[in-house]
Amino acid sequence: MKLSPDERWNLIDSIANQVVTYGKYRHTLKDAIGELTVKPMAGIPIAIAVLYGFWSVFGSFAGTLCTDGFFVKLFDGYWLPWLQEVFPGKGSWLYSILIDAGGMTNGEFILSNNCFEAFGVLTSGLFVAIGVVLPAIVIFYLMLTLLEDIGYMPRLAVLIDTVLHKIGLHGYAIVPTILSLGCNVPAVTATRILETRKQRFIMMTLLAIFIPCGAQLGIMEEVIPELIGYVLLYLVIGYFIFGFVLNKIVPGKSPEILIDVPPYQKPMIANVRRKLWMRVSSFFKVAVPFVLLGCIIVNVLYLVGFIQWLGDILAPVFVGWFGVPKETAGPLVAAFLRKDLAVAQLSVIEMTQYQMLSAVVLISIYFPCVATFAMMLKEGWKELIGSVAVLAVVVFLYGGIIHLIGKLIGVA
């Protein structure tokens, strides 16, 4: 049976009349709230509040409840003393690598009394991975997943679109940026959300340099809670300044995009659970081996005297240019393997508050950890070399600027 065009339209109309209900569109409260969150005047205060909630819950759960409340007690009070007791060969190189690097006082081997100082693979390595990073990552990804599933993230992307255009990116660059606060590795993959090579390069470089990962944040929360705000402030400022510069000097296009903003909705528990599991498990597949490997390599480098040698060579740069003690050379080498571990190492070096601030910022902007490095290599070796070149310049310049600021305000 063949229908004429008129008959077809009639048939469509009759089907539509049966299945479609027509009504008057009414602007609901949900719609109005949705609009409010993308208008800068209202959206920015809301974004500030959401970020506050994010960090407050992060600190309370990861810091107060899990790490300080239980894991520090478990690792420092039971796990470390037990291992120190049962593992044979105190002071031997194997003992130093696996259990406790300790310290020598008047020729006597002194055991460490906490996992931040022991630096053994089975003590500090496991403590950092399980006691500090695990709770930080779980709560971070839980909060991120909730914000995504509620529908807030696309609104944040719209809100920040104008600002990010100034540095050659667009609103959706907020996704790799925030993901990077969890772990830089999936964030490097998430840069594919951006359209051009220029945008991907800028994003990758910025997140490798200026975004501290969840592990680092967890350690900072534990070791330097009073300075974390200032560290983040320095990093945010650097993110925008160097993003702006990169946008000017890197050739290529930064096209406009259309962002589809879905309505706010209730998150589905099953989805949240699945996403959370996927992210946390993939993070741990990457992170735990690197934390443990990092401990081994750093301890070996210390034992063979490489770190001491490097510290001596770099001392003029560290002391004169960056204004930090030369002992920070060790943590900087360690930072290539795991930045979180490096921040923990800094905590046991004697220095002023401003030196600590400078050192933590330096560690954050210094080379991406080796896992991120590998991920960037996967995205293209040219990009990697470019990023590394930018990084070298940024570390040198920014480190010097921070020292200069400290000198000017009389704290360095």
User: Any residues with CB less than 8 A from the CB of 402 and at least 6 apart, and which?
Assistant: 234, 322, 323, 357, 358, 361, 362
For residue 61, state whether it binds another protein (rule: CB under 8 A).
yes
For residue 45, state whether it binds another protein (rule: CB under 8 A).
yes
For residue 24, state whether it binds another protein (rule: CB under 8 A).
yes
Instruction: Report yes or no: 307 and 329 within 8 Å, Cβ to Cβ.
Output: yes
Q: Measured between alpha carbons, how far is 197 from 191 in angstroms, rounded to an integer? A: 10
User: Any residues with CB less than 8 A from the CB of 338 and at least 6 apart, and which?
Assistant: 128, 215, 287, 290, 291, 294, 369
For residue 22, state whether it binds another protein (rule: CB under 8 A).
no
- Based on CB atoms, which residue is closest to another protein, 158 or 287? 158
Which string of DSSP letters, residue by residue, matches 260-275?
--PPP-PPPHHHHHHH
CB of 193 to another protein, least distance (A): 28
For residue 374, state whether it binds another protein (rule: CB under 8 A).
no
- Based on CB atoms, which residue is closest to another protein, 38 or 292? 38
Which H/E stretch holds residue 83? helix 80-86
For residue 26, state whether it binds another protein (rule: CB under 8 A).
yes
CB of 260 to another protein, least distance (A): 21
Place of tokens 């406009």: 256
Which of 3, 9, 17, 69 binds another protein (CB under 8 A)? It is 69
Largest CA distance in the chain: 102
User: CA angle, corner 223, sides to 356 and 395, nearest 5?
Assistant: 40
CB of 62 to another protein, least distance (A): 9
For 103, the 3-state DSSP assignment is strand
The neighbouring-strand residues paired with 219 are none
For residue 409, state whether it binds another protein (rule: CB under 8 A).
no
Query: What radius of gyration, in Å, describes the C-alpha atoms of the chain?
Result: 25
Residues from 70 through 89 that contact another protein (CB under 8 A):
70, 72-73
Angstrom distances, CA of residue 50 to CA of 55, 143, 159:
9, 10, 13
How many binding residues for another protein (CB under 8 A)? 31
Which of 52, 277, 309, 381 binds another protein (CB under 8 A)? It is 52
For residue 49, state whether it binds another protein (rule: CB under 8 A).
yes
For residue 68, state whether it binds another protein (rule: CB under 8 A).
yes
- With CB under 8 A as the contact rule, which of the stretches 46-54, 180-188, 300-308, 401-409 interacts with another protein? 46-54
Residues from 211 through 240 that contact another protein (CB under 8 A):
229
For residue 149, state whether it binds another protein (rule: CB under 8 A).
no
Summarize as ranges the residues that interact with another protein (CB under 8 A): 24, 26-29, 31-33, 35-36, 42, 45-46, 48-50, 52-53, 55-57, 60-61, 64-65, 68-70, 72-73, 229
